[in-house]
Structure 1
């Protein structure tokens, strides 16, 4: 390297980099003449490797001077101290290129990208196999320099594992490249990325490849089109590099040089395979116009494409929505009622054991609702003629609607208690470990976990919580949550829930443990850029955000629940199905509804943020224990059956007097005894008219009866009518009314109370005679 070239490279390193090779430096002719091929052959491998160009009068060197000049200028522009090892590698790289020029009879600046890949090899192994034995990996690296500077080659993604950072250092200058990388590191480190650590290698590799593709080492030159091109042409291989590319674009966008990356959902970009073209066009038009949330819109789109495939197979005349009639709607309802899982689906991956089973009632109803929404909107927007009313023609059939109703899949109390214990005792050792160690900090994982266990919110609502959503109150006064305040022991923790699926924002009380976990995360949370709330469209500072990304709503199902189940030693599924994030909402609601001092349905409605008590019933379920207690308290059996003491005269039975018609069984009425055998059928049994079967207790006969030693006492269950039950339980007035109605009813002896002469009014029966049956 000459002194002039060294000085020029140093000056370039200090300012803005520019392309070091003049465009018109080399001859436009790329074909080697015979004399030049002969000169390379005569110089031989030894001279070419030593690069003995010090004798310019030598015939061989003079003949190939036009090939050597670009190589010398490219070597001189590199930011690489001229050590002996580098000089040898550069000389070997030049020798290799001159030999290939002689073989191909073409100058290297005219080689195609495929020819450069053939020289460099698809990987290091490929290079060693095609290159001479003396060409090592260092030679390959310097050949790549010439390919980039002289041959216009920048398809380094085709070279396998390649050291892009050293290459960028040599071409653009080490100081300049490191300074640009440091800017990106600073932004990402502020967001919590571990890419900002000095020992990281993936970030510099991605940035350097972008620099090489863009032919500029300046961040301000990284336009949005470049990032889009990298993704579209798949110039970066695996997922880790794409994730890093996403992070780099976010950082460059934060610096103001490009637009941030756009995240697209799978439903919005999924191919509409199999559906008729005209039907697909209508569905895509509806999808682009609808104002439903992205997830709902994408789910409806998938259902509509399935219906289009059904129409193509079963109703070919209805592949155009404009041709639909009430008869088509009826045919669809009938087909859905008989359809199985996987029918008319484009992809069946993931259905597994569900494949071929009948659709559940909820699936049938939701698919009808999707078609109903589509036709309702198209008619409202005057795209389609009003040939039928979607609300009536596509209404859920009564047979399907009858199978729908509140059925919260509550998690059993013992399993939920174990999951709660696991969440409260979460440690760093429990967290999943990736190649980059822990992806999320423990404080973030713990805050998300306790929010799921205590808040009773949907997973997307948890993911959309804002910074500062926790507030503390004591005696109705707001308490600041910073370190200067000491929270009262009985302080109330409030959670501000953003606009959600069924309503506007609201505030609810939650357990202080959850509030403390959220504040612990907020205390260490790195500053994050604001992100768009897909539901409201506003820019929000999300609480659960890290590395410039919001924690996805699927994180609870995919990571938190398996983690807790593993720690608690419980399966991830029970008899009601998989344990999912939404089942926690039903479990918490049911426990609050069945507590010792339960919430009312209206209080639970406000706590859950539901619009109506009817919809709240889909989350709250009365437990069998609570229902049993309520049933016992109602006293259904005791209300209709009472026990009465019965005296059995064993002497009368043993002596045979009972067979001769003598009384042997006496029902204790409190004020006397009744020996009527069919006592349970006597209409006067609880309001005795004192007929021949009656013996008052104040008589000598009753005293003699009670004095017998061989009496056997037992209790007999007697079913009571409502009037008899009221006479026993409700007092004198009810008894008087019963006696009045029985005044002309015959007694077991045949006479009525009125004939016997017993007044209709009587004294209230003693309570001791009729007792509740012990349980």
Structure 2
């Protein structure tokens, strides 16, 4: 123990009082053999040794500050009756002060901030005090430099900076002040200035005791631990997603035990496994309320499964839920078909696995007994939501013209460099990939090819004008890795990012389990898939002045995939279904069909090209004799309208009802064009020309469109049909095999006028 007992002797208390404040502050000039000073020798000696061990130049300012700090401690010893080496952490906090104002309240008026700093030195060296997180905004860097040595502390900090700077951290800059503070706090807590002594425990203690609270300091602590782990001195920090496994409440104990056993054994991905667990706990609460005998999965029968399927079909949002916070206006509404199907799938998975693992007897087939009913399955299916062409065009423009002013800024500036943000944005706009696939792209995923030969991607190479840009897509949701062509603009943006990308450590690909060099990684961390929906998509939306949601919902990463696929399928030279399947990376063409949406414009053009109206209606010229109408001759029965048949005119008023209209039998209503009557008719000045539409039967349409054979068939059908004048073509002595021209002046159109 330093200096003997903790309790002050009566002579020591008396000596401190007799020396007084003035003599105590002039410690440098004291006579150690004088009676008063000799009485408190055991209190002075440790303070002198601690002062001599500090790495601080012996200036007059330091001498005054150390003397004043000694005076403060000796006075407090006299007041408390106990030596400083026996003080508790609470007593030291009271002496040093929870902040500057607290120190000034307890210390003499002449004690300034420098005095407080040296009091803290003695607290650390002589009182085993290291709870500096309780001292407010205390200058930990100067304190650590004085205690451990400036050269040693700065050297260790530079090692951490070098690692972080190599990963792209702004903490790696020399002007950053947060990193030295955190590192020095760890040194003080660990009572060692060496990084190799920083094991995992100090980092865990800081988090467990919340010594840094939250925010920037905690983020910096995370970065420092990653750097120390990269140097090989501790374990890397555990990456937490903020999600915790909810407690199993409300379900029967036996059911919960089975669910937890399945959860601990299943090899599904963590998110999928957690979702199945939540659904199973809900089913357990239903069983406790409606089927008490089914609390044990071993007691389930086909009848129990049928009851569950019926109950799920009638459930509402919030039924049998442990918590309803966050449901808001959805509470009490019927479950969506997708929710019903996912909950049935969870129960199917549970019983299938338990039977496969021989935990439960095979009393029923889960695939049949818990199958999704047809009424629910009919409402399911992928529903890709295409973004409108005008909005998509604006987003493309905004993505191609991103500038630094468009990036989100926090207190430390840009979180990601502009080149990375632009590369991710163009990848979203051009690649047609899922957000998970974009986040998992590898370094070197872009390749250039020209005339079947690869072109090196070095910056010194000049790419051929017609070079093809290829993208290597990693193993994804529905298949293995594959290669697809993309727009060169995206390839150039990715190569611009690769050119400045700091070297990053390899990280584990959770889908494949391999160590991968991710393309979109910065500060030794992969850009999360959620970054696309949360940050990337709002950037071009703001720049283009379009809302982040339309009538079909929020603009998400997957909607871009649907939009690109739809545009490729509806292009002027469209991709076939199988080509689009290969480009999207789908396992089956059925999945691609959901993405290959025919746009209304393409459908309209195809409808017009089909000529639905023109196929069933034809226009024919008609001549109107206006004199016959105005002088009353038409009312007396004189012809006033003449249908131009090409080889003659027909003055039958109800021409559109004549069965011989397309194969004129030349009855009494017919006037040939080479006749004098027809010439006189065409010479009339008051003649008005117009066109009318007449509907066609299938046989008449075939006679017009298909030629002589169809005309002959039509003549055979009409040989005994009376003409408007009465006689049949047979009576008119026209053979059935005669070659009669249809209306040669017939033309398609929809701008005709009806009489």
User: So what's the TM-score if we normalise by structure 1?
Assistant: 0.89
The alignment status of 1:210 with 2:150, answered yes or no, reads no
User: Which structure 2 residues correspond to residues 400-479 of structure 1 after superposition, within 5 A?
Assistant: 400-479=376-455
Residues 659/294 of structure 1: CA separation in 2 closer, same or farther (3 Å cut): same
User: Which structure 2 residues correspond to residues 92-241 of structure 1 after superposition, within 5 A?
Assistant: 92-241=68-217
Which residue does the alignment assign to 1:620? Answer: 596
TM-fit CA distance, 1:151: 2.5
Which residue does the alignment assign to 1:642? Answer: 618
Distance of 2:411 and 2:337 partners within structure 1: 44
The alignment status of 1:768 with 2:744, answered yes or no, reads yes
The alignment status of 1:492 with 2:468, answered yes or no, reads yes
Distance of 1:463 and 1:659 partners within structure 2: 84
Residues 155/384 of structure 1: CA separation in 2 closer, same or farther (3 Å cut): farther
User: Which structure 2 residues correspond to residues 288-327 of structure 1 after superposition, within 5 A?
Assistant: 288-308=264-284, 318=294, 320-327=296-303
TM-fit CA distance, 1:724: 1.5
What secondary structure sits across from 1:200 in the alignment? coil
Which shifted more, 517-526 or 44-53?
Answer: 44-53
TM-fit CA distance, 1:635: 0.9
592, 608, 615: which one aligns with 1:632: 608
Which shifted more, 127-136 or 314-323?
Answer: 314-323
What secondary structure sits across from 1:494 in the alignment? strand
8 Å CA contact retained: 1:728, 1:765 = no
Alpha-carbon displacement from aligned partner over 1:650-669 (angstroms, at most 9, x marks no partner): 44444555445554444333
Distance of 2:445 and 2:45 partners within structure 1: 68
Distance of 2:169 and 2:725 partners within structure 1: 99
Which shifted more, 55-64 or 735-744?
Answer: 55-64
8 Å CA contact retained: 1:731, 1:764 = no
Residues 358/250 of structure 1: CA separation in 2 closer, same or farther (3 Å cut): same
Which shifted more, 633-642 or 384-393?
Answer: 384-393
8 Å CA contact retained: 1:294, 1:534 = no
TM-fit CA distance, 1:176: 1.0
8 Å CA contact retained: 2:440, 2:519 = yes
Distance of 1:399 and 1:192 partners within structure 2: 54
Distance of 2:119 and 2:282 partners within structure 1: 55
Residues 347/442 of structure 1: CA separation in 2 closer, same or farther (3 Å cut): farther
Which residue does the alignment assign to 2:537? Answer: 561
Distance of 1:722 and 1:635 partners within structure 2: 15
Residues 327/30 of structure 1: CA separation in 2 closer, same or farther (3 Å cut): farther
Gaps of 5+ in 1: 1-23
Residues 321/745 of structure 1: CA separation in 2 closer, same or farther (3 Å cut): farther
What secondary structure sits across from 1:769 in the alignment? coil
Which residue does the alignment assign to 1:516? Answer: 492
Alpha-carbon displacement from aligned partner over 1:623-671 (angstroms, at most 9, x marks no partner): 2111111110111111111122233444444455544555444433333
Distance of 2:301 and 2:118 partners within structure 1: 72
Which shifted more, 499-508 or 316-325?
Answer: 316-325
8 Å CA contact retained: 2:245, 2:274 = no
TM-fit CA distance, 1:764: 4.8
Residues 271/60 of structure 1: CA separation in 2 closer, same or farther (3 Å cut): farther
Distance of 1:333 and 1:96 partners within structure 2: 78
Residues 187/39 of structure 1: CA separation in 2 closer, same or farther (3 Å cut): same
TM-fit CA distance, 1:221: 1.3
Residues 765/332 of structure 1: CA separation in 2 closer, same or farther (3 Å cut): farther
Alpha-carbon displacement from aligned partner over 1:454-476 (angstroms, at most 9, x marks no partner): 11111221111111111111111
8 Å CA contact retained: 2:662, 2:743 = no
Residues 403/750 of structure 1: CA separation in 2 closer, same or farther (3 Å cut): farther
721, 724, 743: which one aligns with 2:719: 743
499, 505, 524: which one aligns with 1:548: 524
TM-fit CA distance, 1:709: 4.3
Distance of 2:246 and 2:310 partners within structure 1: 28
8 Å CA contact retained: 2:182, 2:221 = yes
8 Å CA contact retained: 2:431, 2:486 = yes
The alignment status of 1:727 with 2:687, answered yes or no, reads no
Provide the alpha-carbon RMSD of the alignment: 2.9
The alignment status of 1:601 with 2:577, answered yes or no, reads yes
What secondary structure sits across from 2:371 in the alignment? coil
8 Å CA contact retained: 1:495, 1:507 = yes
What secondary structure sits across from 1:503 in the alignment? coil
Which residue does the alignment assign to 1:380? Answer: 356
Residues 446/332 of structure 1: CA separation in 2 closer, same or farther (3 Å cut): same
Residues 431/671 of structure 1: CA separation in 2 closer, same or farther (3 Å cut): same
Aligned length: 750
Distance of 1:658 and 1:470 partners within structure 2: 82
Which shifted more, 553-562 or 730-739?
Answer: 553-562
8 Å CA contact retained: 1:71, 1:146 = yes
Distance of 2:119 and 2:527 partners within structure 1: 44
TM-fit CA distance, 1:446: 1.6
Which residue does the alignment assign to 2:246? Answer: 271
Residues 128/279 of structure 1: CA separation in 2 closer, same or farther (3 Å cut): farther
User: Which structure 2 residues correspond to residues 670-685 of structure 1 after superposition, within 5 A?
Assistant: 670-685=646-661
TM-fit CA distance, 1:317: 5.4
TM-fit CA distance, 1:578: 1.8
Alpha-carbon displacement from aligned partner over 1:719-761 (angstroms, at most 9, x marks no partner): 2222211111011111112222333444445554344432222
User: Which structure 2 residues correspond to residues 324-335 of structure 1 after superposition, within 5 A?
Assistant: 324-330=300-306, 332-334=308-310
Alpha-carbon displacement from aligned partner over 1:254-298 (angstroms, at most 9, x marks no partner): 11112222213334x243364535555444443433333344334
237, 241, 250: which one aligns with 2:226: 250
Distance of 1:169 and 1:521 partners within structure 2: 39
Which shifted more, 135-144 or 636-645?
Answer: 135-144
Residues 281/53 of structure 1: CA separation in 2 closer, same or farther (3 Å cut): farther
Residues 768/754 of structure 1: CA separation in 2 closer, same or farther (3 Å cut): closer
TM-fit CA distance, 1:330: 4.7
TM-fit CA distance, 1:695: 4.2
8 Å CA contact retained: 1:272, 1:280 = no
User: Which structure 2 residues correspond to residues 280-291 of structure 1 after superposition, within 5 A?
Assistant: 280-291=256-267
Which shifted more, 359-368 or 610-619?
Answer: 359-368
Residues 317/214 of structure 1: CA separation in 2 closer, same or farther (3 Å cut): farther
Distance of 1:450 and 1:372 partners within structure 2: 41
User: So what's the TM-score if we normalise by structure 2?
Assistant: 0.91
Which residue does the alignment assign to 1:6? Answer: none
Distance of 2:29 and 2:295 partners within structure 1: 77
Which residue does the alignment assign to 2:509? Answer: 533
8 Å CA contact retained: 1:689, 1:758 = yes
Which residue does the alignment assign to 1:21? Answer: none
Distance of 2:329 and 2:642 partners within structure 1: 68
What secondary structure sits across from 1:618 in the alignment? helix
Alpha-carbon displacement from aligned partner over 1:430-454 (angstroms, at most 9, x marks no partner): 2222222222222212211211111
Residues 304/155 of structure 1: CA separation in 2 closer, same or farther (3 Å cut): farther
386, 394, 398: which one aligns with 2:374: 398
Which shifted more, 454-463 or 570-579?
Answer: 570-579
Residues 281/95 of structure 1: CA separation in 2 closer, same or farther (3 Å cut): farther
Distance of 1:177 and 1:301 partners within structure 2: 50
